[in-house]
Amino acid sequence: MRVYPTFFRLAFSWMDAERAHKIGFKGIRLAHTTGASRLLQRFTAPAPSLQTTAFGVTFPSPFGLAAGFDKEGHGIEALTELGFGHVEVGTITGQAQPGNEKPRLFRLIQDRAVINRMGFNNDGAVAVEPRLKAARDALRRRYPDVRPVIGVNIGKSKVVELDDAVGDYLLSARSLAPAADYLVVNVSSPNTPGLRLLQDVQTLRPLLTAVGEEADRAAGRHVPLLVKIAPDLSNEDIDDVARLALDLKLDGIIATNTTIARTGLKSPAEAVEKCGPGGLSGAPLKQRSLEVLRRLKDATGDSITLVAVGGVETARDVQERLDAGATLVQGYTAFLYEGPFWAARINRQLAKSRRSDKVRNKSS
């Protein structure tokens, strides 16, 4: 019997969603500070059979936490203790910014979904960098063999004009790449005005080229570079991004970010409208994100790492995406509904399934 759904209904469902997130995240970090989560690691640590290699980096599990939960690198160690094979921090911008006005985070509980228009609220790249470095050093000491991986997701500062976007991304890359295991260029959030225009391949090419070169120069090594795209791109645009990624020899594509669509929801239309604009994430995104993943796989074959995110709730969802061509899978929204042992439960079920497959293959 799972206790957390009842706890969520009683403790969090009535509360402002952003306030609930902050309280929950503080609880996770407190468990790390007191040593409680470390004691639980015998139950939450991914099985060795789940180790996965992508773009030359070994992950303890293919399942990780998408950008958006830990925007500023405050809880990386704590989150990895819950079983996530990687934590993608961000989105981080070149300049510190407060984000959009509150309220800006809304739950659609009937749909197991969230609408957000946070607006990349964060302390800025220079302030976040020492947190990432400290977390990376701590994870290296604690896991001398295979440690949880730190991804860093960077975006455009709101006050920076699109014509100056490259320089803004370079500031973030320069500061953050040395502490990142991989770097993600986010051009697909709907909450920064004009940002999605950067997904046009003519604009995207010089941006990705410049960020990749600056990241490697700043880190003194190759930092795997990925781009995160929106589910709202047309199929033709998805094909264009795939061709560009192959041409530039990018290390990966993350599919997908949140959607501006509001189709097929169970929640009353007036409740959805009351939330206002923003990106929708969670279960309603499941089918479209899977379609984008499959299209990218058809277009890129085995030449590039695909990271699937969008509507991932269960181990079956994770496996479906792995079977569809993803090497790594991320989740976020379901974490809010499933609670702190969500990643550990998915890892256990994935490992159990792999053991069963191994036994069947031996007996056949």
Which residue is associated with the tokens 């739950």? 107
Q: Which of 233, 194, 228, 227 is nearest to 211 (CA)?
A: 227
Cβ atoms within 10 Å, residue 74: 17
Q: Among the options 172, 189, 281, 289, which is catalytic?
A: 189
Structure tokens at 223: 């930092």
CA dist 140 → 133, 146, 148 (Å): 11, 9, 9
- 51 three-class SS: coil
Active site residue 189: yes
Segments of 96-190 assigned E as strands = 105-108, 113-116, 149-155, 182-186
Residues 6+ positions from 250 with CB-CB distance below 8 Å: 208, 212, 225, 226, 227, 244, 304
CA dist 114 → 6, 21, 154, 194 (Å): 19, 12, 21, 22
Q: What is the DSSP letter of 257?
A: -
Q: Please report which residue ranges of 107-164 form alpha helices under DSSP H.
A: 125-142
Segments of the chain assigned E as strands = 52-54, 57-59, 63-65, 86-93, 105-108, 113-116, 149-155, 182-186, 225-229, 252-255, 279-282, 305-309, 328-331
Cβ atoms within 10 Å, residue 215: 28
CA distance 151 to 131: 13
CA distance 211 to 262: 33
In DSSP notation, 217-238 reads HHHTS---EEEEE-TTS-HHHH
Structure tokens at 295: 């299209």
Residues 6+ positions from 173 with CB-CB distance below 8 Å: 154, 183, 211, 214, 215, 218
Which positions are catalytic?
Answer: 189
